[in-house]
Structure 1
Amino acid sequence: MARKAKELTPLAVSRLTAPGLHAVGGVAGLYLQVLPSGGRSWILRAMVGGQRRDMGLGGFPDVTLAGARDAARKAREKIADGVDPIEDRRARKSALKAETAKVVTFDQAAKAYIAAHGDSWRNDKHRQQWENTLATYASPKIGKLSVRDIEVAHILSVLEPIWKDRTETATRLRGRIERIMGWATSRGYREGLNPARWRDHLDQQLAAPKRIAKTQHHAALPIDDMGDFMGRLRSAQGLGARALEFVVLTAARTGEVRGAKWSEIDMTAKVWTVPAERMKAGKEHRVPLSEAAVALLESLPRMAGTDLVFPSSRRTELSNMTLTAVLRRMGVDVTSHGFRSTFRDWAAERTNYPRDVAEMALAHTIGDKVEAAYRRGDLFGKRQRLMEDWARFIARPAVSGDVVSLHGAA
């Protein structure tokens, strides 16, 4: 009969420094292994299936004496039940590795879906529109979530903020999310029903798109209404109408336009430099001016005694209500700020410009450090082309789904 090892105390164990295996007692076959280098770890030596096996139980002192004894007892219990604890641990590690491999984020799933289906789409513009809408609306909310954890509440957090004001975009976005989630299910990355499905699901929580289109008072003008609107706006009289026209052409905030100064504008270089103190992000912003924007500025009178481009009769900044009044006289139930939303939707849905170009045009703050590193420049050249294309798009009536002809958007 094997001699039973003396049960050592934690203090006694801490004093074991000679290289070799030291029996510590408490559980048969439990040893503290001391290496010549001084490293110490726990070993359980036991007979499994007629063979001697050494099983590592962790390093000392990270695993205490009590912890090692507890792990050794559990391993002995498995052996008594006919289970090889070493093989059992390997199997659990393999299962965990396999399970971890199934953790795919929405952004990863979207990228994989587009890669798998992109070649079958009619052109690269369609691919870019997919990428733009997902990056603009879905990724900030659910991009980093595992697809297996995404539920209907997450889908609604993406769709509800834009469902009423940007129904066309939101409807397309929902369909794209549904396809991506369906792909994730078919690949085994998630289980259960698709949280983005419409019939008998989201249709119970969101208004039907066709009904919204008939009854909704839009905070932002639909993309396809911009051509007709701009034709009417150009016919409107007054400096307020010209300021609103400049808001649309530049996609700038109304406060930035109302405070615009001639000294900030370089007509030769076709650039308007808005100083940091007037920018929401607190950083200087260069706005490329399209030919249409330059022509508008050239048509304006310059009032003596002020540097303002759009001064009031008292030589002060126009009020925001002045721009709102223009819209009211035109009978258009939108907000002046809403034109930035229309511009954003147009860039995402009707062009193949990357999302970051449109975001820079809107002077949006960049949150992602990786994206910020990529965008240290202000992409001025690409933004120039974007604004020219925007000016051309809104210069004429557009049919539904019209896609602007681009030049060098890449």
Structure 2
Amino acid sequence: MAELGITLRTVQSLGPGETIWDAGHRAAVRGFGVRRQRGAPVYVLKYRAHGRQRFFTIGPHGSPWTPERARREAKRLLGLVADGKDPADDRAEAALQAADTLLKIADQYLKHAKQKQRPRTYSEIERYLLTAWKPLHPVSVFLIKRRHVAIRIAEIATGQGAVTAARARAALSAMFNWAIREGLDIPANPVLGTNRPAAPRSRDRVLADGELAEIWAALGDDDYGRIVKLLLLTAQRREEVGSMRRTELDLENSVWKIPGNRTKNHREHKVPLTKAAIALIPLPRGNREYVFGDGPRREGDNHRGYSGWSKSKAGLDARLLAVRQKALDAGVAAEPLPDWHLHDLRRTAATVMADRLGVFPHIVEAVLNHVSGHRAGVAGVYNLARYETDMRAALNAWADNIKDIVAS
């Protein structure tokens, strides 16, 4: 173990098992050394911190570490020691932070979210965190800055639309808020302060009678066809009908009871079933829990509800266009049915019940399972029994209206 000036020549002449400590010149740094065991020489620093002698590895000789650059780094580290910091502890903390990548924290957050969120909400959060934010997965959450988030939000908006970008942004923000509450010393949520993608205007599409007749006629006698017809007749949400369970049905009393864990407002919802709606509910198939869907994924799996939404909607739109084309003279291209979504059926039912059939607004809200001043509080709870009678009358009138539309 020698005390010599650490120069390029002395470092290159260092033999296996030898160590040199910087000395013998005005720029020498106490505790700065270089040692060689088997491979390349390694620059080190020896110092005392918190009453203990510590060794810190600066790095191996070669790019980027030269004797002069390693000496400057040693001076910087000794400055930290003088300020009461321990570089070895800082490096260990940095290593821990580097291990906390976005993917790792997202996986931890999803385990938490799965216990708190409804299945559909959870699947969307999972998709946004694991797919939309995939480019940032290898990055430590301690190193993700607002600029990183803003750039990625803009990329998502360009490639997948403003709605997806806004929801991906919200999912990431919720994850960071959770991580901070879990004790990760992240200075601030990097999502805060980024621009929120402009949300599109709320849809107000109400289908005309002729459009409803076209759609009804194009539907087949399969799960999807029955589901769409039930969406129209009951005015309930897509996932509620698609995941209908046998245990929720009381066909003897013509009631479908949707539990609170499957409704948007987390309130149990009793939907009166008309004769037309009951006629669309298929007979039980084996021991299946769900009314619709493609059965278990594999042996021993739980059954699941309907899942082929996008493909089935595309097929329905193609059939609608084909019918329109057939009705036109040869050589004239038919216009497709103006853009419509399944949720438009729910809006159409509510609008027609209120405007054409004279159903009171609070009864329409009861059918939709919306909570307003009429239904909130204790009075709303006690009024539910009376509402059920009015809801049944409203849905029967709506079913008769649909019958007249499709028959015309």
Shorter-chain TM band: 0.3 to 0.5
Q: TM-score, normalised by structure 1?
A: 0.40
